[in-house]
Structure 1
Amino acid sequence: MKSARRFLGRAAAVVLAAGGVVLGATATAGADPAPGCTAGDVTAVMTGVSASMTTYLFTHPDVNDFLTSLQGLPKSQAKQKTQDYLAANPQVRDELNAIRQPGVDLRNRCNIPLKTEIANVI
C-alpha cells in the first residue's frame, strides 16, 4: 500500500511539473505559439513521456526501487546519489534519457525554459 501511495505521489508530481511547463509555455508565449507548441501539444508530449517512464519503472524494479529510495532526502543529496547511480549504470542513464528526449526536444523547439516562473507557484 505504501508503494502505491508513493507512486501516486510521484505521478502527481510529474503531472504538476507537466502542468507547470504547460502554464509556463502559455504564460510566456505572448503571441500565437509556434506550430506544435500549443498547451495541448505540450500536454500530449509530457503525457507520453510520463506513460513511458511509468512503464519503464514498473518493468525495471531495481531502478524503481532506487528512485523510490530518494524520497525524503535533501535535494542536494538526492541529486548526488542520482548522478552516482547513473554513472555506475550507463545503460539505465541512456534509457532514461531516451524516454525524456521528446520533452527535451519540445522544450528546445518551443523555447520553453526548463524552470518556468509559473512552476514555482504550483
Structure 2
Amino acid sequence: MKTIVCTAMLGAAVFVAAPLAHANEDPAANPPNCSAADMEGVRAGVEASTSAYLFTHPDVNAFFNGLSGLPRNKLGPKLKDYFAAHPQTQAELTGIRQPLVDIKNRCGHG
C-alpha cells in the first residue's frame, strides 16, 4: 500500500510540474495559444490518438511492445527498418503526431 501511495504521489508531482516547465514567466513573450495548458492539451490529444491507433492496429502495437528494454542505440535502426517496410504506418503515425509538432514549432519549443 505504501508503494502505491508513493508512486501515486510521484506521478501527481510530475503531472503538476510538467506543464510548468513549458510556461514562460513573461506572458507577453508567449504567442497566443502557446500556454502550458495549450501544449498539454495538444499532447494529451496526440497521446489519446496514438493509443487508439495502437489498439486498433495490434501488429503495430506488438512491434512497439517488442522494443521495450532495448538500448537507445538499437531503437533507431529497428524503427527505420520497420517504417521502411511499413510506409503507410509511418505516414499514419506522423499524421497523428503532427499537431504536437505544429504547436511546438509555432510556440518556439521545437
TM-score by length of 2: 0.79
Structure 1 counterpart of 2:33:
36
Which residues of 2 match residues 7-86 of structure 1 at below 5 A? 20=18, 22-26=19-23, 29-32=24-27, 33-86=30-83
Where 2:69 maps in the other structure, the secondary structure is coil
Deviations 1:66-100 (A, max 9, x none): 00000000011012101110111100000000000
Deviations 1:33-92 (A, max 9, x none): 211111111111001000000000000000000000000000110121011101111000
Larger radius of gyration: 2
In 2, the alpha carbon distance for the partners of 1:100 and 1:23 equals 22
**Aligned-pair Cα RMSD in Å:** 2.0
Shift of the alpha carbon at 1:23? 3.6
Identity %: 45
In 2, the alpha carbon distance for the partners of 1:23 and 1:104 equals 19
Where 1:37 maps in the other structure, the secondary structure is coil
- The answer for unaligned runs of 5 or more in structure 2 is 1-10
Shift of the alpha carbon at 1:24? 3.3
Where 1:72 maps in the other structure, the secondary structure is coil
1:89 aligns with 2:89: no
- The answer for unaligned runs of 5 or more in structure 1 is 1-11, 114-122
Structure 2 counterpart of 1:104:
101
In 1, the alpha carbon distance for the partners of 2:93 and 2:107 equals 22
Shift of the alpha carbon at 1:30? 3.8
TM-score by length of 1: 0.71
Shift of the alpha carbon at 1:31? 1.9
